[in-house]
Amino acid sequence: MLMFQVDCGKSANYYTIYHSDDNSNYIKMTPDKKVDIFIMHVHVGMSVEGAIGFLKPRLTFVSHLLELGHSQKLPHAWRCPFDQAFETIRNIPEKEATVLTWGERWIVPQTIIEEY
């Protein structure tokens, strides 16, 4: 499994993004800064509440819920119904966790968006 940390620059308010990938072990999650955005995979044994409690991020994006599928034999093997996706964060305040849908974009508050 590959966990990674992205330390953003000034244009993104110096946010730290931490992605747990397929990690299911809290002890292996070792960011070296306060986590602003945590992206976690929910189908690997960690509860959303437990992972948030462990890292204490500003915001969590719950991922791997609305996948388009990983297998050609089972084209929608990993696609969950929206109700199931949102059920995973039902007990978490809206400002702390969300499920993004395909095509949705989230912008860090006070981010400077430069046109090229």
Distance from C-alpha of 66 to C-alpha of 104, rounded to nearest angstrom: 12
Please report, for the chain, the start and end positions of each structural domain, with discontinuous segments joined by +: 4-98
Q: Which residues pair with 38 in a beta bridge?
A: 18, 60
From 32, 98, 112, select the one nearest 65 (Cα to Cα): 98
Q: How many other β-carbons are positioned within 10 Å of the β-carbon of residue 23?
A: 19
State both tokens at 20: 């747990």
Q: What is the pLDDT of residues 40-66, one digit of tens each?
A: 876 656 788 888 889 999 999 887 665
Q: 116 pLDDT exceeds 70?
A: no
**Strand ranges in 31-113 using DSSP code E only, listed in sequence order:** 37-41, 59-63, 97-98
pLDDT, the chain, mean: 78
Lowest mean pLDDT among 7-16, 62-71, 82-91: 62-71
